[in-house]
Chains A and B, each alone.
Chain A
Amino acid sequence: MTEIRIAGLTKRYGEKTAVNNLNLTIQKGELFALLGVNGAGKTTTIKMLSCLIAPTSGDAVLLGDSIVSACSAVKEKINVSPQETAVAPNLTVMENLEMIAGIYGSDRKAAGIKAAGMLSAFCLDEVACSKAKTLSGGMQRRLSIAMALISEPEILFLDEPTLGLDVLARRELWNAIGKLKGKVTIILTTHYLEEAQALSDRLGIMAKGELKAVGTVPELVSRAGAQTFEDAFVALATDQGVNV
């Protein structure tokens, strides 16, 4: 079942084209990675799909609702974990979770129950009463993703979820994200090849605002005629590859 259908999505800032004519479909429960170097257009794509910025042209339909004409309906079904850690620093971990649940319509009791569930799922029980600003970078990212999930979104956007984390924190977060596979449709942006490889069902390679290739890792390696995924990425991202 198709969850997200993107057609001709384009964003221009004056003369600069940040995303150019993006066409893509993503299935329900799929973890789709948008892979690309900095400035490839990944975050701009996420911002358009989550109704943060309006496309210059084109459209995307998320679960039957257009990001151009039905933003309010789209916002009820999605959630986003932004690239930078986005938590309320002087609120406790528990309060951060309850706040997001409340903003998405849960009453106080339901918000408490959902928050307790997230604390457990993301191994944050021990820091439930700690202020968010006192957490390590890795824990703040886990909290940030838990905040994105507490609204029980049908589609989750994870923008560079492990950026700046050490190896151990990254692995912990991969485990947490891996557990979500099949339950929530996830679009994840990253510039770490191994992250896209480890987590995604399919991935799209973006470069200079364009989607250069879409497929599974073996498909992309085969399409580029490369030995490794890194070689395939370089070939496809630098236009040495073949068509999408």
Chain B
Amino acid sequence: MRLLVFASRNWKEIVRDPLNLAFGFGFPLVLLLLLTAMQKNIPASLFRIEELAPGMAIFNLAFISLFSGMLIAKDRSTSFLMRLFTSPLSASDFILGYTLPLLPIAVMQCVIFFAAAFFLGLAVNVTVLVALAVVLIPVAVLFIGIGLMAGSVFTDKQVSAICGAGLTNACAWLSGIWFAPGLVGGWFEAIAYALPFVYAVNAARAAIAGDYASIFPQLWWVIGYAVVIMTAAILVFWKWMGSDHM
């Protein structure tokens, strides 16, 4: 009951913030529309919807880190968390309360995004949607973990810069959404393949293509990153809760 009350509050805080709605829901849709329109006017296959939509879906989910990180950092900076730390809420209530509301938000982002992609010509069926869900859930957990950790360590201004600019740009450029990292090669390609984003995009593209055998070799990287980052985020939050610096 306590957990649900706290989770409900966090849900309301996120979905009632117009900036969250603009960046998390509107911005990726505008990009999808623009790039699809661009594709219609150029002879080369640069932004085919089958390649673009799964990549953009991963980019879309990167904003989850911004949502969760900003919420936690603001709660810390305004003493709201200090108030709640004197309440009977347990450490697990806090962690689940900040995590659970983000999963339905991630689902909403994906549903709205793929509905738009469908109207722009993306062919999907039930099997593809199930495969996409299998791919996108660990990706969402990965971004939730990054947000939880950022919110526990940084101020809201720092989270805005790190998750809002740094993470989304890293996800956009180092994931192969617009171009394969191999086209640049060298250190750029090495960094891209050391991070989880390119594997997430590859797994999502395999799901859309119905190439289910190719999903898990890519997705294991994402799951591994998600487990490590989420575990580290929980430990960091726990440590901060028990610290003398609140």
Residues of A within 8 A of B (CB): 13, 47, 50-54, 72, 75-76, 78-91, 95, 99-100, 102-105, 107, 131, 147-148, 151
Contact = CB atoms under 8 A, between A and B. Distances in A.
Given A84-B78, A86-B78, A102 B86 contact: no
A89 B86 contact: no
Contact of B78 (A75, A85, A91): A85
A99 B85 CA distance: 14
Interface residues of B, number: 24
B86 A80 contact: yes
Nearest to A46: B86
Given A89-B13, A91-B13, A103 B86 contact: no
Instruction: Say what secondary structure dominates the interface of chain B.
Output: helix
Given A13-B244, A88-B80, A103-B6, A52 B86 contact: yes
Interface in B1-49: 1-2, 5-6, 8-9, 12-13, 16-17
Interface of B: 1-2, 5-6, 8-9, 12-13, 16-17, 74, 78-80, 82-89, 244, 246
A75 B86 contact: yes
A84 B87 CA distance: 17
Contacts of A72: 88
B80 A87 contact: yes
Nearest to A56: B244
A100 B8 CA distance: 12
Nearest to A72: B88
B17 A90 contact: yes
Contacts of A107: 1
A22 B235 CA distance: 33
A103 B79 contact: no
Given A102-B2, A103-B6, A82 B246 contact: no
A53 B134 CA distance: 42
A90 B79 contact: no
A104 B79 CA distance: 18
B66 to A, nearest CB: 16
A104 B88 CA distance: 7
Given A51-B86, A91-B12, A99-B6, 19 more contacts: A52-B82, A53-B246, A54-B244, A72-B88, A76-B88, A78-B86, A82-B79, A82-B82, A83-B79, A84-B79, A85-B78, A89-B78, A90-B16, A100-B87, A102-B1, A103-B2, A104-B88, A148-B83, A151-B87
A147 B83 contact: yes
B53 to A, nearest CB: 31
A14 to B, nearest CB: 10
6 contacts: A52-B246, A78-B86, A90-B16, A91-B9, A100-B87, A104-B88
A147 B9 CA distance: 14
